[in-house]
Amino acid sequence: MTITRGKWLPRLIGLGLTLFFLWCLTTDMPLVNRLVLRAEGVAYDARLNLTLPPHSVDPRIVIVDIDEKSLKQEGHWPWPRDKIARLTENLFAAGAAVVAFDIVFPEKEENRALAVAHRLDGRLDPHLLRLLRAQAAAFDDDATLAATLGRHDTVLGFTLTEDQANRSGVLPAPLTFPAEAHMDAIPLKTADGYVANNSTLQRATQRGGFFSLDMDPDPDGIIRRVPLVMRHNGVVYPSLALETVRLYLLLDKVEPISAREGDQRLLEALRLGELIVPTDRMGRVIVPYRGTQKSFPYVSATDALTSPKTLTQLQGAIVLIGTTATGLYDLRSTPVEAVYPGVEVHANIIAAILDNHFPAEPSWTKGANIVLLLLLGGGLALLLPSLPSAAMLIISAVVAVLFIIGNFWAWESQGIMLALALPLALIASLNAFNVAYGFLTESRSRRQLKEMFGQYVPPQWVEEMSRNPGSFGFEGESRVMTVLFSDVRNFTTISEGLPAARLKEMLNRFFNPMTGIIFRHRGTIDKYVGDMVMAFWGAPVNDDDHAFHAVLSAMEMIREAERLKPQFKQQGFPELDIGIGINTGMMNVGDMGSTYRRAYTVIGDAVNLASRLEGVTKHYGASIVVSENVVEKTADRILYRELDLIRVKGKQQAVTLYQPICLRSNASEDDEKEMAMWREAIALYRTACWQDARTAFQTLHATSGAKELAKLYLERIASLSNGTLPDNWDGVYERESK
């Protein structure tokens, strides 16, 4: 078990999130599909508006606007057809190449002469009525407009609807395709009903195109795509924009470009001579808005009627007759403006066809979007869990920015529209999940760390560990560490003389400062056992100077014990003396125990040796005994007195023992000389130079503070010098008891 549980779980969840987003991209579930389209639509709008070119006006297409000014000057709509005819004549007289009507004329207009004759029938002289009826042809405005339409290159608009019961007017001739085009096998958007122009007008021009903008908005009501072709009653009709360009370019046909996908043949583009217009499989194009409204020249219809000589901008232009008047309901919601003239949508499509510049979603973009989601989601799902929170945010932001740059590059330079919202949502979701998961895991780890280590390590260590909990675990590991055992001498006798409550109070008052000393020197409390304290250095937080910190703790603990003696005496407690053993070596550290009770502890031979060293402190009259391993790591900063070379019970290897005296920085010249004398005396003892050794230890007994140690060696010399030494005697003292 580890505090952070590893990284497999967030990676699996991240991959699951990626698969969920892939499902959202590919599913046909209506609700999900609408949500995805809505999100991608918002992203499309943002991208489009950010990449719009500086505002300019395209002079090739002029919009003759039935605006509020025109209605005020010419009267309410609908206008008489002769006025429409006069308007049309004026436009061609000004040089218009093609005139297209974003208007439909479904009903026949009433003949004004016949209407008057009918109303006055019986009240007017019959001869006058016959004369009035004889002049009816002069008042046939439909015929007048039809004659005008027939003389010029004009295109009438009509609408296709989903209402099968709504069929009125006469449809123009549909598009025709060669048999090899397989147009019948290509699925297109299908309309069941229509509202077309009356037969007189439609037959006069033969040209017509639908302007059914209401049929295909996105789920949010915004017009981003418009069909160029639609099917009705088994035949295909062109849009107003497509038919206008076809007439303008004098093309007889439109050729479909399709591709087979499985058992289906899907539309990919339409060819108009040398121009190729990319479409989606339903025959729709993405409207390439040039900018906000007024990206094309506007002429008020009333000005075209009353001042045709001023229409110089119409020379050679395509003219669209439409309306921006509020009451005529041809204002649409688009990505560039919430209120946008429908007629200008057609103008944008016409301009893009002529420029051969359409953004496209080729059939392969769906596969490309799937690959992008897999790469982005899979990569981040595997990478983010291994990063800290700040790095997660930075990496996610960098990936998102790079993706946006690539997406905009594909849009701007290649004209390819790739998914934008869904990949960005995936990046954000993975980042949010991993940050949240990391926060929750870190909080849990901090609680575990505090619960596990709060009583055993310094508070500042718990804080340090909580900042990077993944670096600390419960599983066992082997490390070179330092361990300390401290024991109260004669504790059995002391405990027998005190009531339990007083004994507990005394130990608590004694252990509190001792624990504080260990904590200050970066130690970890392993356990308290009666009067014994066990601590270690080097785990759970790495400490390269663990031996030095352990010895410093021991020396301060001895000083603190001396400081407490008068206080304890004053409070009626016995004076306490302690012995401390310290060893450095390879140990196993980790969470150990059973299912019922566990503890973070150290075990190993090096630990056992430290316990043995604490047991010999009284024998040598030393408060602290350390091993040669400790001295090896700290001799440059701590002055030691060599004590002995012993072989403790259960061990074959002899160990040299030392007593720390003081920091070398605090040592005097006399201290250094005395420690040298001890080393020399012990060397004489180990070489069995008994007389010289006796003299050296006698001198030390008289001058040194370690009189018990000198006395110990003098007794050994007296015993050994009177007997015969074994051949393999090496000066090692055999310690039989623990």
Q: What is the DSSP string of 440-496?
A: HHHHHHHHHHHHHHTTTS-HHHHHHHHHSGGG--SS-EEEEEEEEEEEETTHHHHHH
CA distance 192 to 460: 77
Q: How far apart are CA 32 and CA 30, in angstroms?
A: 6
**Inside any domain, residue 190:** yes
Q: How far apart are CA 238 and CA 240, in angstroms?
A: 7
Residue 87 sits in the same domain as residue 19: no
Could you tell me the CATH number of the domain that includes residue 567? 3.30.70.1230
State whether 45 and 97 are in the same domain.
no
Answer whether residue 205 is part of any domain.
Answer: yes
DSSP code string of 294-334: -SS-EEEHHHHHH-GGG-GGGTT-EEEEEE--GGG--EE--
Domain's final residue, options 332, 355, 378 = 355
Residue 70, domain member (yes or no): yes
Angle between helices 389-413 and 30-50 (to 10 degrees): 70
Q: At what angle do helices 8-26 and 30-50 cross, to 10 degrees?
A: 90
Q: Are residues 431 and 503 in the same domain?
A: no
pLDDT at site 349? 94
Same domain (yes/no): 319, 374: no
- Name every residue whose Cβ is closer than 8 Å to that of residue 164 and which is 6 or more positions away in sequence: 192, 193
> Which of 634, 657, 680 is the last residue in one of the domains?
634
What pLDDT shows up at residue 122?
59
Three-state SS letters, 528-577: EECCEEEEEECCCCCCCCHHHHHHHHHHHHHHHHHHHHHHHHHCCCCCCC
Residue 586, in any domain of the structure? yes
Claim to verify: residue 68 and residue 14 sit in the same structural domain: no
179 and 218: one domain? yes
Of 447, 464, 485, the residue that ends a domain is: 447
Instruction: State whether 370 and 295 are in the same domain.
Output: no
Query: Do both 392 and 268 map to the same domain?
Result: no
- Condensed to tens digits (0 to 9), the pLDDT of residues 299-308 reads 999 999 998 8
Does one domain contain both 499 and 569? yes
* Residue 281 forms part of a structural domain: yes
Write down the pLDDT at residue 460: 59
Structural domains counted in the chain = 3
Q: Are 384 and 326 in the same domain?
A: no
- One domain, residues 495 and 586: yes
Phi and psi torsions of 317, nearest 5°: -95, 160
Ranges of the chain whose pLDDT falls below 70: 1-6, 112-125, 127-138, 213-216, 442-475, 595-597, 650, 736-738
For residue 163, is it within any domain?
yes
Structure tokens at 559: 């000083």
Residue 668 has phi, psi (to 5 degrees) of -90, 170
Ramachandran sector of residue 655 (left: φ over 0; alpha: ψ -120 to 50; beta: rest): beta
Query: Is residue 28 assigned to a domain?
Result: yes
Same domain assignment for residues 168 and 273? yes
Contact 341, 211 (CB under 8 A): no
Q: Which domain, by its residues, includes 371? A: 8-51+364-447
Distance CA 551, CA 625 (A): 10
Q: Does residue 667 lie in a domain region?
A: no
pLDDT at 5: 46
